[in-house]
Structure 1
Amino acid sequence: MTASKPWLVGHQEFAALYGVEAKRVAKWLSPSLATLDPATAIVVSGVRYWPMGFACRYGNTTPRFKQIHMRVKERLIAEQGEGWEADSRDQLPPIVGQQEIIELFHLPSQGNLATAIATGRFPEADWLLSGSRLWLLDTVIKAVPALRESARSLPWEPDETVAEALRTGTYDGPGSVILTRGRHARKGP
């Protein structure tokens, strides 16, 4: 883990900051309420994540003031370790989850990555947020020599086109969009 790592929150952490259930964050995002702009988040492996600074300021921007729980913020910072507080998604470095990593290395299946993670051959995640592991792209790229050494059959060769798209914010592959779930997913266009 590195000091260049910004503190982040997922749905669960965002909700905990304000003492509400995670479902409430989804309501804030809904078009009917629209107090939380989806453009304020990054999308990693099909899930939204926000910079800690933005999440903490959110309560000041709503029609009804919402106070954050400072102890929750302190706990989240302690869990994430040394880092810094970004205020906007534009300040964030490239961040990847399992879907982006699978695409980056063109792995044949998610099982290949899951095995590398479970056996300790893949680098430790920079974050564990809302139940998902996330990595700085740089953490993954720096691990390539060790991944190659420990591999039996996979080349662990990063696709530079995918890496560049992740670096420039133009990545549009697997994991780059939010997938509609639940009853809304069943509705046709």
Structure 2
Amino acid sequence: MQRRPHLVGPQEFAALYDVRPGVVSQWLVRGVLDAATAIVISGGRFWPLGFAARFDSISSGRWELRSEVLADLIEEQGEGWSPDLGEQLPAIVGQKEIIELFHLPSQGNLATTIATGRFPAADWRLSGSRLWLLDTVLDAAPELQASSRKLPWVADEEVAAALREGRYDGPGSTAASRGPYARKAL
């Protein structure tokens, strides 16, 4: 298994500090948590675990890190590392980026491929989202292509390069506003 960076989504971030998941959104709205500290994948925000684990010191100790939750997250994610900054992360994709990468006609095509077990297992399942290393997806493309009767599964090299270089601005590249604070700009 490839070493992956440890990440958290809003649910895992909330668990680290024993707050409701919606509180993480409130922190963003109130400026307690800077949106720039997160990476956006398929419209969701995710944070490097190193950053999330030191949030208690950034927030003047108002919230206390639950070390047992941190240990559980590291164990669940397996051997890897806990980066502090999004720029330290390899290219990571969710379903929206994969659909754009392969120019799939619909999300249903990808959902069916995942459901039938032909798509590689997700590298992470965080806050209800499946995430993959871009390389995991690209490495699976020849097998996907060989097993597909209708879809070409040929990666768009421009999209792959944009994802790798952090300049992707297609579907899923901006955070989707959710919850009661969705109307407030982040």
TM-score using structure 2 length: 0.94
Cα distance in structure 1, aligned partners of 2:143 and 2:79: 24
Residue 10 (structure 2) aligns with: 11
Identity percentage of aligned residues = 62
Cα RMSD after superposing both structures: 1.4
1:42 aligns with 2:39: yes
Question: For 2:171, which of 158, 170, 174 is the aligned residue?
Answer: 174
Match of 1:82 in 2: 79
Map 1:75-114; keep pairs closer than 5 Å.
75-114=72-111
Q: 1:152 aligns with which of 149, 153, 157?
A: 149
For 2:138 and 2:44, locate their aligned partners in 1 and report how far apart those are by CA, in whole Å: 22
Q: Are the structure 2 counterparts of residues 161 and 185 from structure 1 closer, same or farther at C-alpha, using a change threshold of 3 Å? A: same
Deviation at 1:53, TM superposition (A): 0.2
Partner in structure 1 of residue 2 of structure 2: 2
1:145–1:22 Cα change, 3 Å: same
Between the aligned partners of 1:36 and 1:185, the Cα distance in structure 2 is: 16
Report the residue type matching 1:50 in the other structure.
Answer: W
Provide runs of 4+ in structure 1 moved above 2 Å.
63-66, 179-187
Please, which runs of 5 or more residues in structure 1 have no aligned partner? none
**1:25-56 CA-partner distances (Å, limit 9, x unpaired):** 111111xx211110011000000000000000
Which residue of structure 1 aligns with residue 133 of structure 2?
Answer: 136
- Secondary structure class of the residue paired with 1:115: helix
How many matched pairs?
Answer: 184
For residues 18 and 180 of structure 2, what CA distance do their matches in structure 1 show? 26
Q: Secondary structure at the match of 1:27?
A: helix
Q: How much has 1:181 moved relative to structure 2?
A: 3.3
Q: Which consecutive unaligned segments of at least 5 residues does structure 2 have?
A: none
- Alignment partner, residue 115 of structure 1: 112
Question: CA–CA distance in 1 between the matches of 2:16 and 2:2?
Answer: 24
The residue aligned with 1:24 is: 23
